[in-house]
Structure 1
């Protein structure tokens, strides 16, 4: 059994790596301390929201975008765990070993407890910190869980992928409130929205609130109630129709949460941020632990190349917006913002300390977000791993595949955001500069924990895999 699971994880890594490598080479304004509602969608395609012209209806998200600011050059990491870690720490995942793939359900590592997280900083500044949704930053030891990392309250799942109806992964329920297992009925997205509303309605409005609302939708498995799928019958492809239903339910729940803020009298002083954790899935090998190999994958990252797990724009440039009535100038901002920037940005608005802890990679992006001022960010680190890297400085982006035969791609993103023309042969000086920066970051990087644990398991250094979740065995046996 153990050998089979080790083989499965090693196969997962190899499949993902092969899929990647087989790709063709080609100053803060004064403002009152806001409540912060930070919403993350999971594997949402860049073009899969209504305000970008999608065939998927998202009126609640559209309203936030149209009355706030669309962030058209907002960058995340290419996969889930790295992006969530970057958001929580304000530091690139390469600093602490979470740069490669995600944390599979049978592995024991997590986001280092030596890292100071955003909820810790905000809690120290007097905020009530609430997390509703998906964690995926460590599950095998409770020291990695949200309640131990600065959140006053947690409700949701600690793993990366669960069944939307049974709340289970591999037959084991992954559904918690404040570290205790919860056995309840309901569709995951609606349960998360309902709980977020409840937390807002019980909140003391005299205390600033930070709510991290991390939906699992529309990550695999592609599941939705039949009546919601039927509402999207204008979409012919059955998988995309289900995917659309998942996004529509996500949108409905966001609308309910915003309405709760209004009912509570908190909306006018609440900053709402919405983003996807990476681009939509376009390769079955990178979709997650569910088998989608026989499906036509539904995500649309147009107009950008690639998707989840890739270093191209389609995997890393994500749909994002910010909305705070009276404090954000509505419109479109095409300045560069990276997810690591959100730690210093939110901490700055909250009056939280950013000097404690390790040096941040993020910069305060509030002038960019609120007024569309030029970004102070001159570089984007898409990722640096043992087998690949991508760095952008100014308009120039290097994509470097390092296993032999190695390959270099160079794009001028301002002129060619679709990454259709590889200029590596005509710009040797740019190649030298960007490769040197990638090498520098590689030298500063911690070892990728996924590779460390996989190697240890394969070499027989791990005698047994850890329990999927460290809880009562009788609870596990409940299964579905």
Structure 2
């Protein structure tokens, strides 16, 4: 009997760990997702196929149709502020980047006391890479991507370069791991190919965060002939080239997705795509490289474009895609680019420790299931001469420079902002003006205007303010 009992105990002892192992196999530990974050530059709302454009964007369309098309995704009205908002989870007015962009001759950047998204993800075990445009500080190495949490860097540091020469004002702005690179090639193609190479070499034992920041379709309007020839039916030459630039970007995204699939990473990769602001409709914001002819971007049905606080400047083409995790369909809920840091950090199992108070919140349920957004307010921007804020369906635009201008719109009923309802809704106007004024009291002075005034009062430095490369790279870290 004792022998039988002992045999039974041994059998039970063997079965228990086997059962535990089987149970463990059935419920594997959650794997951190790879994150591919793609930002287009000055892409018009109406200039993708899934918004009805004649421009062919089959890869972007597929990502939107199989994922969440984010119909109310708000960004800042210009490049530098949007990228800063993304990487900090905070409104740019908090740290002086609310106005315009960093020009080649300017020496400021995103303040060093702001802790950025790649730093948070790196602390959580991610390999971090930026491939493409930085535009958050270039005159001091302390402001460069590798000092701000990126393990790998490739692309330009300033905002605008020639697509073929990679130069601005005669100076090359093209770097790999912060060392200048002189290589031929069309910028969009080079960025896509480098992203593919990075994925091919990636160690899948670690999760990947890739910030793929295309310069397309920002000015100057340049594209390879093979792409321009695809749009012979478009009469306007700038629109034809612009379409070619968008299509070339779509092709490179396709190549990146194929690389993820081949590497076995696609199913566990969360992809976000959006523009940094609306398409350019005003020559004031068309860039420093001179552009002839009509500006080609379309933000229809929204008003105005880049640089403006109207919907056309701030409501961006956007989508999110993660197979098996994001429900396919339109998400018509208000979201803001500052929400992306806390949302991504939560998915990565990372921590926001060390960041300053965030303006964004975790909006994963809205993105993944279409649930109502926790965001009840959109702060379009707060500057010393203007501000705009939306609460619920009501949006107030307030230009404070003389002659001052106050406009109130019901965005749900009038997304094109055609009917100013301020006169008949004074209590709402007063409430939203107070909100803008209160936010303005929290605002840091604009680093752009400080730098601009300094350059005119003192030494004017028209050339790009890069450090001297030879001396610079011998100084070490």
User: What TM-score results when the alignment is normalised by the length of structure 2?
Assistant: 0.91
Counterparts of 1:403 and 1:389, CA distance in 2:
11
Deviation sequence 1:79-112 (CA, Å, 0-9, x none): 0000000000000000000000000000011000
How far apart, CA to CA, are the structure 2 residues paired with 1:463 and 1:234?
46
Q: Which residue does 1:207 correspond to in 2?
A: 206
Superposed CA deviations along residues 234-266 of structure 1, whole A, max 9, x for unmatched, are: 211111000000000000000000010000000
* Correspondences of 1:16-31 after superposition (within 5 Å): none
Distance across 2 between alignment mates of 1:466 and 1:320 = 35
Answering whether residue 426 of structure 2 is matched by residue 428 of structure 1, we say yes
The answer to whether 1:468 aligns with 2:465 is yes
For 2:300 and 2:352, the matched residues in 1 are separated by 36
Contact persistence 1:56–1:244 (CA under 8 A): yes
- CA positional deviation for 1:473: 6.6
For 2:468 and 2:49, the matched residues in 1 are separated by 41
Counterpart in 1 of 2:42? Answer: 43
What are the superposed Cα offsets for residues 97-152 of structure 1, whole Å, 9 maximum, x if unpaired?
00000000000110000000000000001100011000000001111110010000
1:291 matched residue in structure 2: 290
After superposition, the CA RMSD in angstroms is 1.4
1:355 maps to 353
Q: CA deviation at 1:290?
A: 1.7
Aligned to 1:25: none
Q: Residue 72 of structure 2: SS of its match in structure 1?
A: strand
Residues 169 and 463 in structure 2, CA contact (< 8 A), matched pair in contact too:
no
Number of aligned residues: 444
Contact preservation (8 Å) 1:140, 1:466: no
SS in 1 for 2:333: strand
Mapped partners of 1:465, 1:59: distance in 2: 41
Alpha-carbon contact 2:105-2:461 (below 8 Å) kept: no
1:311 is matched with which residue: 298, 309, 312? 309
Q: Secondary structure at the match of 1:231?
A: helix
Which residue of structure 2 lines up, in the alignment, with residue 34 of structure 1? Answer: 33
Alpha-carbon distance in 2 for matches of 1:367, 1:171:
47
1:433-458 CA-to-partner distances (Å, cap 9, x unmatched) read 11111111111011000111111222
1:357: how far off? 1.9
Partners in 2 of 1:386 and 1:413 — Cα distance? Answer: 24
Give the CA deviation at 1:356.
Answer: 2.2
- Offset from partner CA, 1:341-381 (integer Å, 9 cap, x none): 00000000001111322000001010000000000100000
Residue 465 of structure 1: how far off its partner (Å)? 6.8
Check whether the contact 1:128–1:152 (CA below 8 A) recurs between aligned residues.
yes
1:191-206 pair list within 5 angstroms: 191-206=190-205
- For residues 5-54 of structure 1, give each alpha carbon's deviation from its aligned partner in whole angstroms, at most 9, with x where no partner exists: xxxxxxxxxxxxxxxxxxxxxxxxx9642100000000000010011110
Secondary structure, counterpart of 2:466 in structure 1 = coil
Q: Does 1:231 align with 2:210?
A: no
Tell me how far apart the structure 2 counterparts of residues 387 and 395 of structure 1 sit (CA, whole Å): 24
1:331 and 2:329 aligned: yes
Q: Note if contact 1:108-1:466 (Cα within 8 Å) is conserved in structure 2.
A: no
Cα pair 2:171 2:464 within 8 Å, conserved? no
Three-state SS of the structure 1 residue aligned to 2:231 is coil
SS at 2:247 equivalent: helix
Deviations 1:418-473 (A, max 9, x none): 1111000011111111111111111101100011111122222x476785211337
2:298 to 289, 295, 300: 300
Mapped contact 1:277–1:318 kept (Cα < 8 A): yes
Q: Secondary structure at the match of 2:73?
A: strand
Q: Which has the larger radius of gyration?
A: 2
Partner of 2:11: none
- Any idea what the Cα deviations from partners look like across 1:174-212, whole Å, max 9, x if unmatched? 000001011111000000000000000000111000000
Kept in 2: contact 1:344–1:362 (CA 8 A): yes
The residue aligned with 2:264 is: 265
- What CA deviation, in whole Å up to 9, does each residue of 1:257-290 have, x standing for no partner? 0010000000000000000000000001111112
Change (3 A) 1:319 1:464: closer
Identify if the C-alpha distance between structure 1 residues 105 and 146 changes in structure 2 by more than 3 Å, giving closer, same or farther: same
Q: Is the 8 A contact 2:169 2:464 kept in 1?
A: no
DSSP-derived class of the 1:433 partner: helix
Could you say which residue in structure 2 is the equivalent of 1:343? 341
Q: Higher mean Cα deviation, 171-180 or 227-236?
A: 227-236
Asked if the contact 1:283/1:307 (under 8 Å) is kept, the reply is: yes
Q: Secondary structure of the residue that 1:205 maps to in structure 2?
A: coil
Q: Distance in 2 between matches of 1:264 and 1:472?
A: 36
User: Distance between the aligned counterparts of 2:385 and 2:460, measured in 1?
Assistant: 28
Q: Hey, what does 2:8 align to over in structure 1?
A: none
Question: Aligned to 1:335, what secondary structure does the other structure show?
Answer: coil
Structure-2 residue corresponding to 1:413: 411
CA distance in 2, matches of 1:253, 1:465: 34
Structure 1: distance between partners of 2:464 and 2:427? 51
Q: Say if 2:165 is the partner of 1:128.
A: no
* 8 A contact 1:107–1:466 mirrored in 2: no
Corresponding position of 1:171? 170
Aligned to 1:147: 146
Q: TM-score, normalised by structure 1?
A: 0.91
Q: Within 5 Å, which residues of 2 pair with 1:231-250?
A: 231-250=230-249
Check 1:231–1:117 CA distance in 2 against 1; reply closer, same or farther (3 A cut). Answer: same
Task: Tell me if 1:54 matches 2:50.
Answer: no
